[in-house]
Structure 1
Amino acid sequence: MGLITGLLTLPLAPVRGVIWVAEKVNEAAERELHDPAVLRAQLVALNQELEDGDISQEEFEREEERLLDRLHEAFCAPNERR
């Protein structure tokens, strides 16, 4: 970036910074969304909620299916998300 270009685009620096931060947050969220360790921990917590009577069997089955689908996706198609 040349000096003139740098000076002319200086007012946009805060916007570029916000965009960069938003991209980094999105990347971290995507990693966590598809991290098998996180998904397994969520399954364990879900089982505990069922055992404690915090959720019904129907709620458990619905959420378990959703988590297992995400886990399957994490193992079977890691390169298709990119």
Structure 2
Amino acid sequence: MGLITGLLTLPLAPVRATVALAEQIRQQAEREYYDPALIRRQLEQIDVLRAGGELDPDEAAALEDELLARLMASNDRQRGEAR
């Protein structure tokens, strides 16, 4: 980057830094949201709550459906990254 370009774009540095930080936060949130190990632990927790009578079967089924959809999306994402 040249001296003039550097001086002219200097006021945008905080904006670029904020955008970069937001992108890193988004990537980390997606990694956690699609983490297969975390999803499996949540599925196990649903089983425990259902067995303990804390969740009715309809609620448990809805939660399991959501988690299974995330798990399938996670598998698709991993296959896409491997290509």
The two structures have a TM-score, normalised by structure 1, of: 0.83
Q: Distance in 1 between matches of 2:7 and 2:51?
A: 62
Q: Distance in 1 between matches of 2:73 and 2:66?
A: 11
Is 2:65 the counterpart of 1:65? yes
Alignment match, 2:31:
31
The superposition leaves residues 22-68 of structure 1 with CA deviations (integer Å, 9 ceiling, x where unpaired) of 00011111111211111111112222222333322111000101111
- With normalisation by structure 2, the TM-score equals 0.82
CA distance in 1, matches of 2:53, 2:9: 58
In structure 2, the residue corresponding to 1:9 is in which secondary structure?
helix
How many residues get paired?
A: 79
Unaligned runs of 5+ in 2: none
Report deviation, 1:2: 1.0
Partners of 2:52 and 2:10 lie apart in 1 by: 56
Deviation for aligned residue 1:14: 0.8
Higher share in helix: 2
| Partner amino acid, structure 2, of 1:16 | R
CA distance in 2, matches of 1:35, 1:12: 35
Opposite residue 73 of structure 1, the aligned amino acid is A
